[in-house]
Amino acid sequence: MIPEHSNAIEGLEALKRIWLQQTMDELDLLGAAVDSASGAPADLAKEVYRLFHDLQGQAALFGYPLLGRVGQSFCAYWRTAGDEFGPDRLPMMRAHLAAARKVLDKRLEGPGDDEAGQAILAELETFARSCPPRITP
C-alpha cells in the first residue's frame, strides 16, 4: 500500500471517531435538555433542528446513511411544523433523538436496509403519524 494512501485512510478513520463521539455527546446533551423541558423553547428547538440538519449531510460521509435518514425525517417534520414549537412538539424531538442514539449505540452503519434499521425507521414513521404536524394559531 502506498504510504500516503494509508495515512489518508487512517486520517479519515480518526475523523470518523471524532465525529461519532461529538455526535453522541451532542445527542446526550440535547436529549437531556429536551427531557427536562416543560415547553419547547425556540432556541432548544432550533438546536435540535440544527443537529438533524447537519446529520442529513454528514452521516453518510462517515458511513451512517441511516442516521442521515433519521435527520431527514426530523427536518421534514420541522418544515411542516414551521417555527411554532410548543410542548406538543417535545415527543417528536425525543423520538428522533432516541432513534439517532439507537443507530449510534448499535453502530448501524449502512443504509438501514437490515432488520434493525427498518425497525427504527418504522417506529419513527408510526410515531410521526400520531403527532400533530402543525400548530395552528
Instruction: Give the model confidence (pLDDT) of 5-20 as tens digits.
Output: 788 889 999 999 999 9
Q: Is residue 27 part of a domain?
A: yes
Over residues 109-126, the mean pLDDT reads 94
Residues 6+ apart with CB under 8 A from 107: none
Q: pLDDT tens for residues 48-85?
A: 999 999 999 999 999 999 999 999 999 988 888 776 66
Q: Residue for cell digits 427504527? A: 120
Sorted by sequence, the CB contacts under 8 Å of residue 100 that are 6+ apart come out as 23, 27, 52, 55, 67, 70, 71
Give how many domains the chain has, as a whole number. Answer: 1
CATH of the domain at 69: 1.20.120
**pLDDT at residue 6, rounded to an integer:** 80
- How far apart CA 77 and CA 47 sit, in angstroms, is 15
Could you tell me if residue 1 is inside a domain? no
Is 14 domain-assigned? no
Integer Cα distance of 121 and 27 in angstroms:
18
CB atoms inside a 10 Å sphere around CB 85: 22
104: domain range? 23-130
